Structure 1
Amino acid sequence: MAVVETVRGPVDSAALERTYMHEHIFVLTPDVQQNYPGEWGDEDARIADAVEKLGALSAQGVRTIVDPTVIGLGRYIPRIQRVAEQLPDLNIVVATGCYTYEEVPFFFHHRGPALNEAAGTEVPDPMVDMFVGDIEDGIAGTGVKAGLLKCAIDQQGLTPGVERVMRAVARAHLRTGTPITVHTHPGAHTGSDVKRVLCDEEGVDPGRVVLGHSGDTTDVDHLSELAEAGFVLGMDRFGINLETTFEARAETVVEMCRRGYADRMVLSQDASCYIDWIDPAVMPLLPQWHYLHIADEVLPYLERRGVTEEQIDTMLVDVPRRYFEADAKG
């Protein structure tokens, strides 16, 4: 057993139970929202809407969601605390890290490694201490401690900014033992970059890393290679079916289970109560993209295709618990 930090405080890993490993509550662009708040509307109404939607998820038997909303995605913990205090049966694990596909945020452009040449020596990256502080001391005076680290690499590949964040995340992980999730682009095989930087060069155990959005590809041979390397595969965008289909996502999980990799996968939807990246008029094109989709539609489909109840429990209970319980500091 191990202690896992949640918004309401630490819980035993056994209390995580059925876990969705990649769900957001709010994904926001803070500068826009602060200056043009019309679409966001009333704060209390947004909180109430989130409580209602997540309460319905909890009623399905989900006991934990992992919310990898970090810098670049509009993380604001006091708002999440308001939601969590009204959902006593749902654990919410929050993250630290930085989300970018290309450059680091301007805050970091002239800090840390960017000063190496001028300083004539290696300047520590302030991101590492910031991430460690969120894990060990809590986030922004709220007392809420981050339970995982988050970074991203998309189709643009390993840009200097992406690599810098990835290495900062790795070093914060090695100091704290806190597990990592990485937004990846499996079609561009960016999991190979993650392996080289995080694992081969920085020394992170791949079993402590979720390769997010692995279910965006149907290339099960490539996914099998990543699973064999020890990574946890995030089959975590169920409901996002603009460039793929429900059946393609589900059949990929079916085949991976058939190949014996249920113990290397987690399931989720990458849903949110509100995301300002998408015009609300587009949302009707994604009718399955919501918190209830997995239990209502995905799991019954998997079972009809031969995925066993034991394999489903492995993906939703055993793998998340193992991910948080493993000790990378010894």
Structure 2
Amino acid sequence: MPQVHTVTGPVDTARLGQVLMHEHLFVLDPEIQSNHPEEWGSESERVADAVERLSALAGTGVRTIVDPTVLGMGRYIPRIQEIAAQVDLNVIVATGYYTYDHLPFYFQYRGPALAAVVGREVPDPMVDMFVRDIEHGIADTGVRAGLLKCAIDHQGMTSDVERVLRAVAKAHRRTGAPITVHTHPGSRQGSAVAEVLADEGVDPRRVVLGHSGDTTDIAHLSELADAGFLLGMDRFGIYLETSFEARAGTVVEMCRRGYAGHMVLSHDAACYYDAVPPEFAPMFPAWHYTHIHEKVLPYLRQQGVTDEQIETMLVANPRRYFENTAAY
């Protein structure tokens, strides 16, 4: 039986159940948190709050969440281990690097940047870092990453963004771990991702293009689905630049056109995200882990989405995504 690595150990893919494919536990700035701990507050209270929120999610019937928090987002596995041990959920974590434009100085003088100096190609150290997280575990925690994560936003395919994407693709080809990419569909960055991944020989069926639900451009989404990609309809609860009806309506229309097999669902929520000041919380009343089950699924059903299609998006598609783990 195929397995996927979770925070508490390997799990048969048949036991993943309903999966929310893009949720965070915490998204933090490590330097702020290390130097200004008053911002974080009580560690025990943060952990207890996370356990309460995730237990409520488990009560909806969800069995697994994917947490694509990687370097650049404050990933800290020991805290996730403590929480995962107290909740009835599988938590799958990721490796990769998150940037919209530049990499930090650590990477500027390592790997490809040295090629001009030494007169030969130099391997990117990110690839080995990512592979180590997948095959051996993150730091000394023993927790192995179950997928790879990178990002592109409206800034487009900067040289450093492309570097991370190619490093992720190379680690994918060595390990077979699937990929998720934060994208900006308003500027059609999924198409730019598709070009680079094709150049690296990545099968699009192994890739989630995250935040695809930020657009209502059905023609663009259909093109990406036809190419084989999974589309992350994964920001339910964020209704500033778009509405509940627009996000849900896109899923409805894509299902009507036969694309249920190319979508996964989630919120992109977190127990705590330090970039969002507490005063902003009232602007996001639906941005929490149980919103899909409380509001979105009933609406989808009212609009004609079938239980079979919902099962496909929540169970079958995530299971298929994690099952094909053979390296190239």
**TM-score, normalized by length of structure 2?**
0.99
Partner of 1:249: 247
- Contact 1:26/1:273 (<8 A) preserved: yes
1:137 and 2:140 are equivalent in the alignment: no
State the distance in 2 between where 1:260 and 1:66 align. 25
State the distance in 2 between where 1:191 and 1:303 align. 28
Letter in 2 for 1:293: H
Partner of 1:95: 94
Letter in 1 for 2:214: D
- Contact 2:93/2:146 (<8 A) preserved: yes
CA drift of 1:39 comes to 2.4
CA drift of 1:283 comes to 1.0
After superposition, what is the alpha-carbon deviation per residue over 1:212-266, rounded to whole angstroms, capped at 9, x for unaligned? 0000000011000000000000000000111110110000000000000000000
CA drift of 1:320 comes to 0.1
- Contact 2:21/2:234 (<8 A) preserved: yes
State the distance in 1 between where 2:108 and 2:326 align. 30
> Within 5 Å, which residues of 2 pair with 1:15-26?
15-26=15-26
> Within 5 Å, which residues of 2 pair with 1:57-206?
57-87=57-87, 89-198=88-197, 200-206=198-204
State the distance in 2 between where 1:107 and 1:26 align. 24
Partner of 2:324: 326
- Contact 1:152/1:184 (<8 A) preserved: yes
Other structure's SS at 2:62 match: coil
Partner of 2:38: 38
After superposition, what is the alpha-carbon deviation per residue over 1:271-307, rounded to whole angstroms, capped at 9, x for unaligned? 0000001111001111000001000000000000000
Partner of 1:216: 214
State the distance in 1 between where 2:325 and 2:92 align. 18
State the distance in 1 between where 2:250 and 2:326 align. 30
State the distance in 2 between where 1:272 and 1:61 align. 19
Partner of 1:316: 314
Partner of 1:48: 48
State the distance in 1 between where 2:106 and 2:281 align. 33
State the distance in 1 between where 2:99 and 2:295 align. 32
- Contact 2:178/2:325 (<8 A) preserved: no
The CA RMSD over aligned residues, in Å, is: 0.7
State the distance in 2 between where 1:76 and 1:117 align. 35
Partner of 1:7: 7
Aligned residues: 328
Letter in 2 for 1:43: E
Partner of 2:291: 293
CA drift of 1:61 comes to 0.5
Partner of 2:303: 305
* Over 4 Å off, 4+ runs: none
CA drift of 1:329 comes to 2.2
Other structure's SS at 2:11 match: strand
Structure 2, gaps ≥5 residues long: none
State the distance in 2 between where 1:45 and 1:27 align. 16
Other structure's SS at 1:193 match: helix
CA drift of 1:327 comes to 3.8
State the distance in 2 between where 1:22 and 1:328 align. 23
Partner of 2:29: 29
- Contact 2:7/2:93 (<8 A) preserved: yes
Other structure's SS at 2:150 match: strand
- Contact 2:8/2:143 (<8 A) preserved: yes
- Contact 1:205/1:328 (<8 A) preserved: no
Other structure's SS at 1:63 match: strand
Other structure's SS at 1:65 match: strand
**TM-score, normalized by length of structure 1?**
0.99
After superposition, what is the alpha-carbon deviation per residue over 1:94-138, rounded to whole angstroms, capped at 9, x for unaligned? 000000000112210100001000010000000000000000000
Letter in 2 for 1:267: L
After superposition, what is the alpha-carbon deviation per residue over 1:178-198, rounded to whole angstroms, capped at 9, x for unaligned? 000000000110111111101
After superposition, what is the alpha-carbon deviation per residue over 1:39-91, rounded to whole angstroms, capped at 9, x for unaligned? 2101011000000000000011000000000001000000000000101x200
- Contact 1:98/1:165 (<8 A) preserved: yes
1:267 and 2:265 are equivalent in the alignment: yes
Letter in 2 for 1:86: Q
CA drift of 1:328 comes to 4.6
CA drift of 1:37 comes to 1.6
Other structure's SS at 1:93 match: strand
